Amino acid sequence: MFFIQWVMIHSGFQQSNMRSRQASILRSPPKQILPVTVNNLIVRTSDPSYYKWTQWIFIQLFNSWYNPETNKAENISTLIPKLKNFNSLSEKDQSDLLLEYRLAYLSDTMVNWCPQLGTVLANEEVKDGVSERGGFPVERKLMKQWSLRITAYADRLFDLVEKVTTPQQKKAVEEYITFAKNRSERERMADVKKISGVFTGGYVDHPFTGKKIPIWIGDYVLAGYGTGAVMAVPGHDSRDYAFAKHFDLPIIEVVQGGDLSKESYDAKEGKLVNSDFLNGLEVKDAVKKAIAAIEEKGLGKGKTNFRLRDAIFGRQRYWGEPIPVYYENGIPKVLEEKELPLVLPEVDKYLPTETGEPPLARAKDWKYKGKFEYEYSTMPGWAGSSWYFLRYMDAHNDQRFASKEAVDYWQNIDLYIGGAEHSTGHLLYVRFWTKFLYDLGLIPVLEPAKKLINQGMIQGVSSFVYRLAFEVTDTLAAGPPIGFNAWEAAFLTLKEIPFFISKKRLDKSFQDFKYQGNDLEINEILESFQDLFNKEIPNFTGKLKISRYTPIYVDVNIVNNNILDTKSFQNWREEYKNAKFLLEENGEYICGSEVEKMSKSKWNVVSPDLMVEQYGADALRLYEMFLGPLELSKPWNTNGISGVSNFMRKLWRLYHNGEQFSVSDEKASKQELKTLHKTIKKITYDIENFSFNTSVSNFMICVNELTELKSNKREILEPLAIVISPYAPHIAEELWLKLGHKESITYAEFPKVNEEYLVESAFNYPVSFNGKTRFYQEYDLSLSKEDVEKEILNNEQTQKYLEGKSPKKVIVVHNRIVNIVI
RNA sequence: GCCCAGUUGGCGGAAUCGGUAGACGCGCUGGUCUCAAACACCAGUAGGAAACUGUGCCGGUUCGACUCCGGCACUGGGUACCA
């Protein structure tokens, strides 16, 4: 099923870019890969008939608060009686007060504001304090933003005991609750080498020993961490340790196991020492006991702190669902259900206004009831995707997000497969919205999915070329003065003729982007470039100096095995048409490479379309599975696809004699049945365990064995087609029709294993000495453990390895292994 | 920095409960077919002459460790406005 989402533009000014991105998303994955296309189940979150309900859910969030007593979301009306003097407040004050409780609320949040672009930037769009696009300064700015009170659900998002969960989900939950802190703090944390800090002059009393402890401020401490308690463990935290060493502060060992004169002991394992009533306890127990003791003394209370922050819900972009809010005298109010959807208004440009308001502020006469301003920010990309699993259940309902019958019937997703990179954002919000809708009694489930698998991502292999930067020296000093034109030409040449150095040669001469030393290699480089240079400008007398190099992403489609096609490179971009290269001795230009996420900006995207054209959709499907475990990330490499393609040809041949379809109705042999049932057993196991890569291997083994047996029996080939159909649906369907069936193979029953065919009569024992396998010995399965032991000790080869000694111990694991300890 | 995952031949990977390391495929080498090439087919392919050694590194548990435990290194992902 397809899921088409908003495509956001990065920064307002690239509409054409936006169109191409949208197109590329529509194109991939190639729809032939999917066995079934259910056209009426396409869900577009950008379609008003869909986002009407996204807006509707937002209104429910606005109208709700989280009741800590019942531990669930409730309508805001149940809150009002609990608020003192609520009715005597002004309308504005009432609104402000309620906003402090609503699950969708306006708040002041810190954002990366770029005044020149007039927009808020993602952290990843900010590099070294300037915008990635355009290099404009970025400042941290406090902004009124719509936010969702996801923290109200922190306990429940983290609470794994709550009804449904799987180990995978637990893992995912842990990923959700990741560290939250703002950028400047992160930058300070990253800079751990610098140790700076100061004694404040103040002291605190130790709650248990009563000793006075001086308070220092360190740069590496997070401002938001903890709640006012003073904490430092110089013996057992490497940063605290470095800090204490630097300022010569006392370091007291409290956990045994390290050597504090040399380094900190950070491991949280070991017995406590120098800790009064905690001495002798393990760290875990000591923490519990210390918290209990603090509570007993009335000094504090144990509390679990979640590293979760409320989710900012407003975006200063055009492409997104309008937030169904208008302002009446500065008071935010939501639309009524019958007024939905609030559709995106037309604007002249997808740019912020001159005064820095979001693009929606450009819309002419876009006012609620003709007089009240709408909210100008839009919803983030994840808004629509936070509930689309529900819409699939009833995609065309215009009365409700999905009918009650549908949500009761379908419940939740059986299996959610998504990349780990989605865990933090998307999944967190889906689970939050699901719990919220459950609280309101709108859906019967607490979790969007019964099971969750984090599939690995197919990564790209980026290639780099290295451009050298030169300086011209001695232009005036050398010989007769050269004319202005020659001098200018030199600079133009440097600009217009980019010089690229091959990776291996680069590695010999450069470190950390800087040219190191004046070795032979680099002189050679200079000479060869000087030659090129002098050819370009005959009367040039200046000297070249290499200053540094810059790695540049190069389109992977013109690189093969790290070797650059230099001709194609020159044609790739106008600015490189005069490019010169310093090659390896064998005349090749070697590129640098790195494995990373596929991304247009990294020029490492390979499209599967070509693969489908060349090998077919089944081969691509099989190959993708064959690449490795579902949960592992790996770089996309098409080198092995011919293997699965060959396999499919062999499979086809089993059912054919030359061009002719040929399947016999003879009884299958024991051997053939064994091969078939072995395969059924393995594939059944693999499907249950999502181990699709080994399935493909086993189909190959099966087809190889059947080819060997020259098997073309219907009794074998018919079940085989069914077993393979989930993996290679197109070819299986075609074979199925040729086998004479009228109905699609999709409806055929999956064959069951018959263990009878798999029974063996003997086992070939690996015989090992001190754990090393030396030879094999076959024994009948009926032989008991004791008999095997007796037999093996009398074995001629055993005697050879024993060299006359008598074994200390003989271990026989029945039908598994023999190990003799000498 | 913090959180998560991974590291096995030339390459992708297999080994299901602690019990035969390298299944299957790619690549490579040699051969058959061909005037030749491609395709196809056959054989070999962790290293080493061998004894043996080998699953990122150091240590531990065990008769036995890719698998379990402790520590470390490196790579990838996330870190909240890419979705």
Q: pLDDT value at position A309?
A: 74
A486 touches A479 (CB < 8 A): no
Q: Which of A117, A115, A125, A106 is nearest to A58 (CA)?
A: A106
pLDDT: is A525 or A327 the higher one?
Answer: A327
| CATH topology classification for A3-77+150-167+312-454 | Rossmann fold (3.40.50)
Q: How many CB atoms within 10 Å of residue A584?
A: 14
Nearest nucleotide to A423 by CA–C1' distance? B78
Once rounded to an integer, what is the mean pLDDT over residues A343-351? 86
pLDDT at A533: 66
Homologous superfamily assigned to A183-297: Valyl/Leucyl/Isoleucyl-tRNA synthetase, editing domain (3.90.740.10)
> Which nucleotide has the least CA–C1' distance to A220?
B1
Nucleotide with minimal C1' distance from the CA of A189 is B1
Q: What is the DSSP letter of A296?
A: H
Q: Going by CATH, does the domain composed of A624-757 fall within 1.10.730.10?
A: yes
Contacts of A54 (CB under 8 A, 6+ apart): A45, A321, A379, A383, A384, A386, A387
Q: Is the CB of A121 under 7 A from strand B?
A: yes
Write down the architecture of domain A761-821 according to CATH: Roll (3.10)
Given this model, what pLDDT does residue A237 score? Answer: 65
In angstroms, the CA of A267 and the C1' of B71 are apart by 9
Of these ranges, A479-483, A520-524, A729-733, the one predicted with the greatest mean pLDDT is A729-733
Residues 492-531 (A) near nucleic chain B, CB < 7 A: none
Span A526-542, average pLDDT: 68
Higher pLDDT pick, A25 / A89: A89
Of the candidates A626, A594, A620, the residue with the CA atom closest to the CA atom of residue A607 = A620
Residue A258 has pLDDT above 90, yes or no: no
Between A5-9, A349-353, A617-621, the lowest mean confidence (pLDDT) is in A5-9
Rounded to 5 degrees, φ, ψ at A550 are: -130, 125
The residues pairing with A199 across neighbouring beta strands, listed in sequence order, are A216
Q: Which of residues 172-211 of A touch strand B (CB under 7 A)?
A: 174-175, 178-181, 183, 186, 189-190, 192
The per-residue pLDDT for A736 is 94
Q: State whether residue A686 is helix, strand or coil.
A: helix
Q: In the prediction, which pLDDT does A732 show? A: 93
Contact A138, A130 (CB under 8 A): yes
Cβ of A631 near strand B (distance < 7 A): yes
Helical spans, DSSP H, in A655-691 = 670-688
Nucleotides of B under 7 A from a protein CB: 1-6, 11-16, 19-21, 23-27, 40-41, 53, 63-65, 70-72, 75-83
Q: What percent of chain A has pLDDT over 90?
A: 20
pLDDT of A598 over the 80 cut: no
Report which of A464, A468, A463 is spatially closest to residue A579, judged by C-alpha positions.
Answer: A468
pLDDT at A275 over 60: yes
Q: Long-range pairs for A643-650 at CB < 8 Å and ≥24 separation? A: A644/A615, A644/A619, A644/A696, A645/A615, A645/A616, A645/A619, A647/A622, A647/A696, A647/A699, A647/A700, A647/A703, A648/A616, A648/A618, A648/A619, A648/A622, A648/A728, A648/A731, A650/A703, A650/A704, A650/A707
Tell me the residue type at A615.
Y
CB A704 under 7 Å to nucleic chain B: yes
- Tell me the one-letter amino acid at A29: P
A71-80, A145-154, A518-527, A575-584: which range is least confident on average? A518-527
**From residues 269-298 of A, which are strand B contacts by CB within 7 A?**
269
pLDDT band for A821, please (50, 70, 90 cuts).
Answer: confident
Contact A351, A333 (CB under 8 A): no
From residues 139-168 of A, which are strand B contacts by CB within 7 A?
145, 150
What does the domain layout of chain A look like in residue ranges?
A: 3-77+150-167+312-454, 183-297, 459-602, 624-757, 761-821
Edge-to-edge strand ranges of the sheet holding A367-368: A331-334, A325-328, A372-374, A367-368
| Pairing, β A772-780 against β A119-121 | unpaired
A178 phi, psi to nearest 5 deg: -95, 170
Which of A266-275, A343-352, A409-418 is predicted least confidently? A266-275
pLDDT confidence of residue A19: 29
**Confidence class for position A388, pLDDT limits 50, 70, 90:** confident
Q: Which amino acid appears at position A229 of this protein?
A: A
Structure confidence at residue A190 as a pLDDT band (50, 70, 90)? very low
Nearest CA to A72 out of A446, A445, A447, A439 is that of A439
Question: Mean pLDDT, to the nearest integer, of A763-775?
Answer: 83
